Structures are given as structure tokens and as C-alpha cells.
Amino acid sequence: MKLTSPDIHKDISCAISTEIINAIIMDIGDSLFAILVDESCDMSSNEQMAIVLHYMDKGQVIEHFVGIVHVTDTKSSSLKLAVDDFFSRHGLSISRLRGQGYDGASNMIGEFSGLKTLILNENDSAFYVHCFAHQLQLALVVVAKKHSEIAGLFTMVSNVVNVVGAFAKCRDMLREKHADAIFEALNNNELLNGQALNQETNLKQSSDTRWSSHYNCLISLENMFPSVIDVLKIVRTDGSDYEQKFEAKVLLTFMQSFSFIFGLHLMKRILGITNDLSQALQKKDQDIVKEDCKV
């Protein structure tokens, strides 16, 4: 009976997490390694920092996510203290650090007081590399937002996700509609059936600074398009208030227009190509880390 207690669940999860991190640290041993850091807010608007370690094992670059650290703020000094505390708790030495990877935020790469500089002041061999895939994503964001049609497309897609996915009732309706559509397609031999195919899914949210998330959002919207239309029709008729009904009506009209369908397929194809390029750039990042570790 005790194992069903939420406190016991948390203790077990914490113990498993500790054992996994200890195994990763033991695997690194006295080897050289690199660190990837990114900061963001959780759903409660608390600042947090994600930490990933890169190291070499038999000629292969190994990448492990090792935890999320809560920080009081995102100042570079606070992030540096969090990194130092993480290194201290797990017996890692900053002298063995040979690479840093962050985004382009000023608190990360500032020449005078950024996290990159604070670490380089202690170890001038910890070379900094701005993630190539992230640079590509940021460039796409800037270019796309300068085109009114594409910017409008993603604004409306975001509104669709918010209207259909924001309320539990709408999400349940969407899952039911999509499940019925898949069942009918399977009966008509329009879909293949097998392990890991036709899994239950939902609309994906997009993020401004992660352009690959826009690609996943478009893929999910295309796959669930008929079900989304059905849900919007229900909301247009049976919405909780006039504003919700009106928004559903506007979205229905826009989603069934030629410009929306054309833009959806155009951006899905462009972002699909970019996604492949992004993966190639991530491999390039790994190759750079591999060379740094050799040095």
C-alpha cells in the first residue's frame, strides 16, 4: 500500500535519477567533456536550466541529459553558480571541460560577463560553439516573420491549436474524431497497420525559438486536418460563449481557403528540407566536440 503513495513515487523517481546520473559520471571518469546549457521557464514560470554533457567513448560522441537545475534568475552569474554547484555535487572538474554550447542570448555569450566568458576565465580550453542548428532556426524565424503571408499562416495555426487544444472537452473531441477517422481508414485499407503505427496523438505546440517545432506542428495539423475541421464546426455551433464561436467560424473559413492549404504544404516541404539540414548541422556540432575532445 505504501508504494501507491505520491511521496513514495517521488522518492523512487529521485533514487532512479540519482543512480542514472552516477552511472553517467562514472562512464565519463577522467575523460574530457563538453557541456550544453539552455535556460527557460517551466509551466509555473519558475526559471530553470537544463544541462547536457558530451563526451567521447571509443571514438563516438555520447550525449546525455543529466538534469534540470532551478535558478533564481537567468543572470550569467546565477547560471555560473548553478554550473559550479552541479560540478561540485558530481565530482566534475572544470579543468577537464573542453567545450561549451549555448544559444545566442547575451547572458550566455556576452563578451564581458556572459556564462561563456565566466567559464573561459577559469579554463581557456573550454571553447564555445554556437549551435549551428539553432542559428539556422533563428535565421528562419527572422526571414519568415518578414513575409506577411507566412507570418499570418503561423499566427492562424497557433490560434487553431489554442482553440482546439486549450480545453479538455475540445481535446477529447479531437481524439475521438481522429480515432474514428483512423478506424475507418484502416477498414478501407487506406492505412497500414502494425506495431508503433497509428498511435494516439494531438496537435503540437510551436515555439518561436525552435523552428523545428513549427514543422512538427504543421505535420500534426495536416494528419488531423479533417478531425480539426469537425471539432471547429462543433465549437462554432456549441461554443461556451460568443467570442469562442466567432473565432471558430473565422478559423474554419481560413483553414478551408486555398491560401491556407497552399501555405501549409509549402512550409511543410520547406521546413522538412530544413529539418534534414538541421540534423546534419547537429552532427557537425558533434564532430566539432569530438575534435575539441581530441585536442
Backbone angles phi, psi at 72, to 5 degrees: -70, -35
- C-alpha distance from residue 27 to each of 18, 31, 35, 69 (Å): 14, 9, 15, 21
Calculate mean pLDDT across residues 22-38: 87
Confidence of residue 292 (pLDDT cuts 50, 70, 90): low
Count of alpha carbons within 13 Å of 174, Cβ hemisphere only?
26
In 3D space, the residue among 152, 148, 125, 127 whose CA is nearest the CA of residue 254 turns out to be 152
Confidence of residue 200 (pLDDT cuts 50, 70, 90): low
Query: Cα torsion for 213, 214, 220, 222, to the nearest 10°?
Result: -160
Task: List all residues 6 or more positions away from 283 whose beta carbon is below 8 Å from its beta carbon.
Answer: none
Confidence of residue 207 (pLDDT cuts 50, 70, 90): low
Calculate mean pLDDT across residues 39-57: 77
Q: Going edge to edge, which strands form the sheet with 97-102?
A: 60-70, 47-57, 33-41, 97-102, 127-130
Top mean pLDDT of 38-42, 45-49, 146-150, 282-286 is at 146-150
**Residue, of 185 and 27, whose pLDDT is higher:** 27
What's this model's pTM, rounded to 2 decimal places? Answer: 0.56
Top mean pLDDT of 36-50, 108-122, 208-222 is at 108-122
Task: List all residues 6 or more positions away from 235 whose beta carbon is below 8 Å from its beta carbon.
Answer: 163, 164, 170, 244, 245, 248
Cβ atoms within 10 Å of 290's Cβ, excluding its own:
17
User: What is the third-level CATH fold of 2-130?
Assistant: Nucleotidyltransferase; domain 5 (3.30.420)
Go through 254-274 and write b for each residue having 16 or more CB atoms within 10 A of its CB, e for each that does not.
bbeeeebeebbeebbeebeeb
**Residue, of 9 and 131, whose pLDDT is higher:** 9
Residues, the chain: 295
Confidence of residue 184 (pLDDT cuts 50, 70, 90): confident
Confidence of residue 284 (pLDDT cuts 50, 70, 90): low
Query: Quick one: what percent of the chain has pLDDT higher than 70?
Result: 79
* The dihedral sign for the CA sequence 127, 209, 149, 228: positive
Which residue intervals of the chain bear CATH 3.30.420?
2-130
Mean of the per-residue pLDDT values of the chain? 79
Calculate mean pLDDT across residues 10-28: 89
pLDDT digits (tens, 9 = 90+) for 152-170: 888 888 888 888 876 677 7
